[in-house]
Amino acid sequence: GESVGLHLPTLSVQEGDNSIINCAYSNSASDYFIWYKQESGKGPQFIIDIRSNMDKRQGQRVTVLLNKTVKHLSLQIAATQPGDSAVYFCAENPPPPKTAGNKLTFGGGTRVLVKP
């Protein structure tokens, strides 16, 4: 899961297995959440997002679950592939005053290593 500090949590998963990456968010008023994937040497890329009026959203091989009661977000990757090896970040967007625009707060990241 996510943590703050110098060490990046690492999830090792066998190729073909499902991965679950967890994230605890901080602001109960946040109404939008997003997962990013960052491969080595690249900028983060969007994976999937979810609004607070939903508790589950599915994409291609990925599912995001939102539990607002305990302020918990998870990303499930089905049939993990070597190309899924990356650092994954969750982010939350508290409701802004209009002038704040979009302002995401990111978690510390989780490294996923896929073993062949």
Partner 1 sequence: DVKVTQSSRYLVKRTGEKVFLECVQDMDHENMFWYRQDPGLGLRLIYFSYDVKMKEKGDIPEGYSVSREKKERFSLILESASTNQTSMYLCASTDLWGGDPRYTSGGELFFGEGSRLTVL
Closest to partner 1 by CB, 84 vs 107, is: 107
The residue within the footprint of partner 1, chosen from 51, 55, 59, 81 (CB under 8 A), is 51
Q: How far is the CB of 15 from partner 1 (least distance, A)?
A: 26
Give the number of residues in contact with partner 1, rule: CB under 8 A.
37
Phi, psi of 58 (to 5 degrees): -115, 140
DSSP string, the chain: ----SSSPPEEEEETTS-EEEEEE-S-TT--EEEEEEE-TTS--EEEEEEETT-SEEE-SSEEEEEETTTTEEEEEESS--GGG-EEEEEEEEPPPPGGG----EE---EEEEEE-
Q: Is 85 in the site for partner 1 (CB under 8 A)?
A: no
Q: Is 1 in the site for partner 1 (CB under 8 A)?
A: no
The residue within the footprint of partner 1, chosen from 24, 79, 105, 113 (CB under 8 A), is 105
Q: Is 40 in the site for partner 1 (CB under 8 A)?
A: no
Q: Which stretch binds partner 1 (CB under 8 A): 11-19, 55-63, 68-76, 95-103?
A: 95-103
d(CA 95, CA 105): 12
Contact 113, 12 (CB under 8 A): yes
* Interaction site with partner 1 (CB under 8 A): 2-8, 31-32, 34, 36, 41-46, 49, 51, 89, 91, 93-96, 98-109
